[in-house]
Amino acid sequence: MILLFDNPMLIPKLIKLAEEVPGAPLKWLREFIFHTLNTPGVIAYADIHEGEYRGFIYANISEWNGDKCVFIQACVLKPCKEERYIGFELLTKIKLFAKEKNLTQIYFITQRNPEGFIRKYHFENAGNILKLDLTKGDK
């Protein structure tokens, strides 16, 4: 069941779920959710089945190229048989949030291959994110 996530006392349950994602920025995610949950322009939903958290999505109103949009900050799905339905339902909640706010664009960054998101959810490539790590010195 997809429910609005608005209880800060349950943030550790989301972080525990995110621990299963390799490379997830857990410290940042914990702080970000703690400081922004229940603030205007932020929305979070969780999938809970028989008391178990199977996924969540966390988004906020932001800007991209000068236009207001909804930016998905985090989306975590626990691998299970129903995973694709959970992802679809969570994204549907974010689409409804965007429509309620009269926003027409939703963005997110993934470290996974984007082809599945393009095929299943009809996202399109909107650019590339590049990173320069200054701690590695000049090469």
| Count of domains observed in the chain | 1
Q: How far is CA 128 from CA 44, 45, 61, 92, 135, in A?
A: 26, 27, 20, 25, 22
Domain that holds residue 55: 2-136
Q: Rounded to two decimals, what is the model's pTM?
A: 0.84
- Rounded to whole angstroms, the Cα distance separating 60 from 45 reads 12
Per-residue pLDDT of the chain (139 residues; tens, 9 = 90+): 999 999 999 999 999 999 988 888 899 999 999 999 999 999 999 999 998 999 999 999 999 889 999 999 998 888 877 666 898 999 999 999 999 999 999 998 877 777 878 887 788 887 777 776 778 876 5
CATH assignment of the domain containing 106: 3.40.630.30
Q: How many CA atoms lie within 13 A of 3 on its CB side?
A: 13
- Please report the pLDDT score of residue 136 as a whole number: 84
| 102 phi-psi bin (left φ>0, alpha ψ -120 to 50, beta other) | left
